[in-house]
């Protein structure tokens, strides 16, 4: 039987896959929503399975950890969806008509020689700060909604008693500017000399990974604070939940940076092969940008939702039974068993 060596060895068919290309363009255009969507997909099935497989761990702590995972990803997805779509649309307007929103001097400072503005490292860095920065903006609200949503999931998924006294719930609403006004606002920021100098200095840094790490730290800190003061989570369950969140975030960030560095070589090889397979085709640079954005998101997501839960749930259960690691706070009324 004749073997197509080009397909088998170079995986050209894979590099030309339309779904892959669309996914990479999605990551480049809306990194925060790409991360939120990946998180939602992993947390709905993979993370709960990993938590449930943790050995010698209290069953109720496992249930609460699963509820936290599902509530967190759902809150993050909904918040990010609402904020990132108009932002992405606004930046696309600048990509297509930069002279309408940017000063000629700004275009000159942000553009690399010999390439278009939207393919330049400085401009890409500056606009990705906005796209990925949505995750930072929603980190604290996400933590608040996570705590608020956990009782609902505990009741509907694990048949826990309903939460009483829900008078303290707040309705959150978000009002966005039109994409045109938002494009002008972003353009004004990109026109600032300080922003242009910042972009030039850090355009070659590992900024996607740094933003993801910062987002996780803010979200976890806010979640721990909300959990500690919540009157909807059983006091006897808070310690394990807080330690689980802290351990998960610490381990995922540390291991995320390690694996991100280790995979630099394979990622560059992937980009090289991808460029060869798609040479001369439209949106190639946008897709390459998507590879660079998707890489740390998939690494951290894979570690956080597939590997870490197995370890953190077990360690948190140990911490719960260690009196030296007690968390001191004022007792609150218990509403969840």
Q: Per-residue pLDDT for the chain (337 aa), expressed as one digit of tens each? A: 444 444 444 566 889 999 999 999 999 999 999 988 998 888 777 777 777 777 777 777 778 878 888 888 888 888 888 888 999 999 999 999 999 999 999 999 999 988 899 889 999 999 999 999 898 888 888 888 888 888 888 877 776 665 454 444 444 444 444 678 889 999 999 999 999 999 999 998 999 999 999 999 999 999 999 988 888 888 878 888 888 888 889 988 999 999 999 999 999 999 999 999 999 898 999 999 999 999 999 998 888 777 777 676 667 677 666 666 666 555 444 444 4
Q: Does 154 fall in a domain?
A: yes
Q: Does 332 fall in a domain?
A: no
Q: Are 200 and 112 in contact (CB under 8 A)?
A: no
Q: Does 169 fall in a domain?
A: yes
Q: Does 336 fall in a domain?
A: no
Of 164, 93, 157, nearest to 127 by C-alpha is 93
Burial of residue 96 (CB within 10 Å: 0-12, 13-18, 19+) is: exposed
DSSP state of 251: H
Domain that holds residue 264: 5-325
Query: How far apart are alpha carbons 20 and 121 in whole angstroms?
Result: 23
Query: How far apart are alpha carbons 200 and 110 in whole angstroms?
Result: 8
Exposure on the CB side of residue 160, measured as CA atoms within 13 A: 21
In the chain, the number of structural domains is 1
Q: Does 296 fall in a domain?
A: yes
CB neighbourhood size of 322 (10 A):
10
Radius of gyration of the chain (CA): 22
Query: How far apart are alpha carbons 66 and 149 in whole angstroms?
Result: 12
DSSP state of 117: G
Q: Does 91 fall in a domain?
A: yes
Exposure on the CB side of residue 315, measured as CA atoms within 13 A: 14
CB neighbourhood size of 240 (10 A):
24
Q: Does 304 fall in a domain?
A: yes
Q: Does 232 fall in a domain?
A: yes
């Amino acid at each position: 039987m004749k073997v197509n060596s080009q397909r088998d060895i170079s995986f050209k068919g894979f590099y030309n896959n339309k779904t892959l290309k669309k996914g990479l363009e999605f990551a480049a255009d809306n990194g925060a929503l790409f991360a939120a969507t990946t998180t939602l997909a992993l947390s709905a099935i993979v993370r709960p399975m990993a938590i449930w497989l943790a050995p010698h761990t209290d069953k109720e702590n496992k249930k609460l950890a699963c509820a936290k995972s599902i509530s967190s990803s759902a809150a993050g997805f909904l918040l990010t969806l609402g904020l990132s779509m108009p932002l992405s649309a606004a930046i696309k307007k600048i990509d297509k008509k930069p002279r309408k929103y940017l000063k000629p001097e700004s275009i000159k400072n942000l553009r690399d020689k010999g390439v278009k503005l939207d393919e330049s490292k400085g401009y890409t860095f500056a606009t990705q700060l906005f796209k990925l920065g949505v995750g930072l903006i929603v980190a604290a609200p996400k933590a608040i909604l996570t705590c608020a949503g956990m009782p609902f999931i505990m009741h509907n998924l694990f048949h826990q008693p309903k939460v009483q006294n829900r008078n303290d719930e707040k309705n959150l609403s978000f009002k966005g500017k039109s994409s045109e006004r938002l494009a002008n606002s972003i353009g004004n920021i990109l026109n600032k000399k300080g922003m242009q100098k910042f972009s030039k200095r850090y355009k070659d840094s590992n900024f996607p990974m740094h933003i993801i790490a910062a987002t996780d730290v803010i979200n976890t800190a806010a979640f721990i604070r909300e959990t500690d003061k919540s009157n909807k989570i059983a006091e006897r369950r808070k310690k394990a939940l807080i330690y689980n969140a802290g351990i998960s975030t610490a381990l995922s960030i540390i291991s995320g940076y390690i694996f991100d560095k280790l995979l630099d070589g394979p990622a560059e090889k992937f980009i090289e092969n991808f460029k060869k397979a798609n040479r001369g085709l439209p949106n190639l640079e946008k897709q390459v940008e998507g590879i660079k954005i998707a890489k740390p998101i998939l690494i951290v997501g894979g570690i956080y939702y597939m590997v870490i839960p197995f370890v953190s749930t077990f360690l948190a259960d140990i911490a719960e039974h260690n009196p030296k690691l007690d968390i001191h706070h004022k007792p609150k009324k218990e509403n969840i068993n």
